[in-house]
Amino acid sequence: MAIVDVKSEITGNVWKIVAEPGQSMEEDEPILILESMKMEIPVASPEDGVVTEILVNEGDVITEGTVVARIEA
């Protein structure tokens, strides 16, 4: 098992966190949703695994490349 950092591909606001630590995720399943330029953009799990940490809070402003979560794959 390896720990995988999940990074944001864009700058935006954390609009909604849809996963929680301990939750099993499938590849491409949304972990959280960002709002940028009035669009909702999901940040998805890069592979199957279990969420170990959510590193941001709803309402946070993040930049491209920010690690938003970690999963154990």
Report mean pLDDT in 10-residue bins for the chain, 73 residues. Answer: 94 97 97 96 96 98 97 95
Query: What letter represents residue 34's amino acid?
Result: L
What pLDDT score was predicted for residue 73?
92
What pTM value is reported for the model? Answer: 0.91
Domains of the chain: 3-72 (2.40.50.100)
In sequence order, which residues have a C-beta less than 8 Å from that of residue 23 and are 6 or more positions away?
50, 51
Beta strands per DSSP E along 1-73: 3-7, 12-17, 24-25, 30-36, 39-44, 49-54, 61-62, 67-72
Integer-rounded Cα radius of gyration of the chain: 11
